[in-house]
Structure 1
Amino acid sequence: MNLDKWSIFSLLNPEFKSKIRSAFVFGGGSEAFVITESDDVYGLGQNSCSCLGIDSTESTLEPKKVEELCGKKVKAFASGCGANVVALTEKGEIYVWGHNKFGELGNEGCNTKVPGLLPGLADVVIEEIACGGHHTLALDKDGKVYGWGQNNNGQIEYTLRANSSRFRQIITTIGVKKIKNIACTNSASFAVSHNGKVYAWGNRENGQLGLPHDTNISQPFKIPGFDNAIIVKVACGFSHVLALSDSGNIIAWGSNNYGQIGIGSKSNVYLSPVRTATEIERVVDIAATPDCHISAALTLTGSVYMWGQYRGHSVTTPMLTPFKLMSDIFASFAKPAVMNSLLPIWTEDSLSVIASLKHAFNDPNTSDLTIMVDGKLIYVHKGILKIRSEYFHSMFKGEWKECCKSPLEIDKFSFPVYKAYLYYLYTGIIDIEPEAVLGLLELSNFYCEEGLKRKCEQIIKSRITPENAALLYVASVTYNTRFTKVKKSVVKEQIPIALLGILAVCFFFIYLNKVLSLLNKRGCFCCIESSKNS
Structure 2
Amino acid sequence: MSNVLSFFFMCNQTYDLGLWRILRRISPEFLANLSKFYLYGMIGGSTLLFTRDNRVFAYGFNGNGRLGVGHFRLDVSGQPEEIEELRNVKIFSVAGADFIVALVEDDNTHKCYLLTWGSNNHGQLGIGDQEDRCQPIRIHSINYNIDKVECSQTHVMAIDCQKHCWCWGDNRFGQVDGNITNICYCSPKLIRFQDDSKIIDIACCETASLALTEHNFLYIWGKLDNCIVSRPLRIDLMNNMRVKKLLGMSKAFAVLTYDCRVILIRQKKERYNRNLFQQMIQFLTKCLDESLPCSVIDIYGSLTYDTCNFILLTETGCCFVWDMIKSNAIRTSMTSIPDVAALHTCYYTNIHAEIPPELVTNGSLILLGTFNNEFQSDLCIKTYTYSHFVRKIFVQQRKLEEHSEYLRQLCLNRIEDDSEEACGRRLIIRRHTYLIVYAYVRYIYTGILRIDPLYTAELYDFAHEFEDNQLIQLIPEFLYHQTNLCSF
Fold similarity call, TM over 0.5: yes
Q: How far did residue 73 of structure 1 move?
A: 1.1
> Aligned with 2:112: secondary structure?
coil
- Partner AA of 2:348 in structure 1: V
Counterpart residue identity of residue 72, structure 1: V
The structure richer in strand per residue is 2
C-alpha distance in structure 1 between counterparts of 2:215 and 2:280, whole Å: 24
The CA distance in 1 between the partners of 2:207 and 2:125, in whole Å, is 16
Question: Which aligned pairs between 1:204-283 and structure 2 lie closer than 5 A?
Answer: 204-205=224-225, 214-254=226-266, 271-276=280-285, 277-279=287-289, 280-281=292-293, 282-283=295-296
Residue 333 (str. 1) matches residue 333 (str. 2): no
When residues 52 and 183 of structure 1 are mapped into structure 2, their CA distance, relative to the original with a 3 A threshold, is: same
Question: Is the CA contact (8 Å cut-off) linking 2:65 and 2:132 kept in structure 1?
Answer: no
Can you list the C-alpha shifts for 1:201-248, whole angstroms capped at 9, x where unaligned?
Answer: 11131xxxxxxxx54113222224533211111112211211101111
User: 2:312, 2:193 → 1: CA distance?
Assistant: 32
Amino acid in the other structure paired with 1:246: Y
1:315-330 mapped onto 2 (5 Å cutoff): 315-330=326-341
Distance change (3 Å), C-alpha of 1:139 and 1:351? farther
In the alignment, which residue of structure 2 is the partner of 1:78? 95
| 2:342 match: secondary structure | helix
Matching of residue 14 in structure 1 with residue 34 in structure 2: no
Task: Pick closer, same or farther for the CA change 1:239–1:349 going to 2, 3 Å.
Answer: closer
CA drift at 1:344: 2.7
1:66-89: CA deviation from partner (whole Å, max 9, x where unpaired)? 111121111211113xx1211111
Deviation at 1:349, TM superposition (A): 6.5
Closer, same or farther: CA 345–140 of 1 in aligned 2, 3 Å: farther
* Structure-2 residue corresponding to 1:203: 223
The reply on whether 1:347 has 2:357 as its aligned counterpart is yes
Tell me, in whole angstroms, the C-alpha distance in 1 between the residues paired with 2:328 and 2:237. Answer: 22
| SS of aligned partner of 1:216 | strand
Structure number with the higher helix fraction is 1
Give secondary structure in 2 for the equivalent of 1:93: strand
Answer yes or no: is 1:113 the counterpart of 2:134: yes
Secondary structure of 2:232's aligned partner: strand
Q: Which amino acid aligns with 1:67?
A: E
Deviation by residue 1:95-136 (Cα, 9 ceiling, x = unmatched): 111111111111111432111001223x42112111112000
Partner of 2:468: none
Spell out the pairing of 1:486-497 with structure 2 (5 A cutoff). none
1:397 aligns to what? none
Query: What residue ranges of structure 1 are gaps of 5+ in the alignment?
Result: 206-213, 258-268, 353-534
8 Å contact from structure 1 (residues 94, 118) kept in 2: yes
Q: What TM-score, normalized by structure 2, do the two folds share?
A: 0.62
Q: Which residue of 2 aligns with 1:433?
A: none
SS of residue matched to 2:339? helix
How do residues 9-408 of structure 1 correspond to structure 2 at under 5 angstroms?
Answer: 9-27=23-41, 28-58=43-73, 59-61=75-77, 62-80=79-97, 83-90=98-105, 91-109=111-129, 110-121=131-142, 123-158=143-178, 161=181, 162-173=183-194, 176-205=196-225, 214-254=226-266, 271-276=280-285, 277-279=287-289, 280-281=292-293, 282-291=295-304, 292-293=306-307, 294-308=309-323, 315-335=326-346, 337-348=347-358
| Structure 1 residue 275: Cα displacement | 3.5
Cα distance between partner residues in 1 of 2:200 and 2:30: 37
1:300–1:143 CA distance, 2 compared to 1 (3 A): same
Root mean square deviation of aligned Cα: 2.5
Larger Cα-atom Rg: 1
> In structure 1, what is the Cα distance between the partners aligned to 2:44 and 2:279?
31
2:350 and 2:343 map into 1 onto residues whose CA distance is 13
Q: 1:140 to 1:345 in 2, by over 3 A?
A: farther
Flag structure 2 segments of 5+ consecutive residues without an equivalent.
1-12, 106-110, 270-277, 363-488
> For 1:239, what is the secondary structure of its paired residue?
coil
Measure, in 1, the Cα distance between the counterparts of 2:88 and 2:264.
39
CA–CA separation in structure 2 for the residues paired with 1:170 and 1:242 = 22
Residues 153-203 of structure 1 show CA distances to partners (whole Å, capped at 9, x for unaligned) of 110113574210111211233x72222211111111111222332221111
Answer whether contact 1:198 1:231 (CA < 8 A) is retained: no
What is the deviation of 1:11? 1.9
2:279 and 2:357 map into 1 onto residues whose CA distance is: 42
Check 1:346–1:226 CA distance in 2 against 1; reply closer, same or farther (3 A cut). farther
Post-superposition shift, 1:256?
8.8
Q: Output the CA distance in 2 between the equivalents of 1:333 and 1:256.
A: 25
Amino acid at match of 1:154: G
SS at match of 1:227: helix
CA shift, 1:351, in A, is 11
CA contact (8 A) 1:295 1:308 kept: yes
Report the alpha carbon displacement of residue 138 of structure 1 after superposing the two structures with TM. Answer: 0.8
In structure 1, the residue corresponding to 2:327 is in which secondary structure? Answer: strand
Contact 1:75/1:342 (8 A) holds in 2:
no
Percent sequence identity is 23
The one-letter code matched in structure 2 to 1:203 is K
Relative to structure 1, is the Cα distance of residues 270 and 323 closer, same or farther in structure 2, using a 3 angstrom cutoff?
A: farther
List per-residue Cα deviations over 1:256-289 (Å, max 9, x = no partner).
Answer: 99xxxxxxxxxxx974332432112211000111
Structure 1 residues 189-198 or 50-59, which shifts more? Answer: 189-198
Query: Aligned partners of 2:264 and 2:179: how far apart in 1?
Result: 29
If asked which structure has higher relative contact order (CA below 8 Å, sep 6+), I would say 2
Q: Structure 1 residue 315: deviation in Å?
A: 5.0
Instruction: State the TM-score, normalizing by the size of structure 1.
Output: 0.57
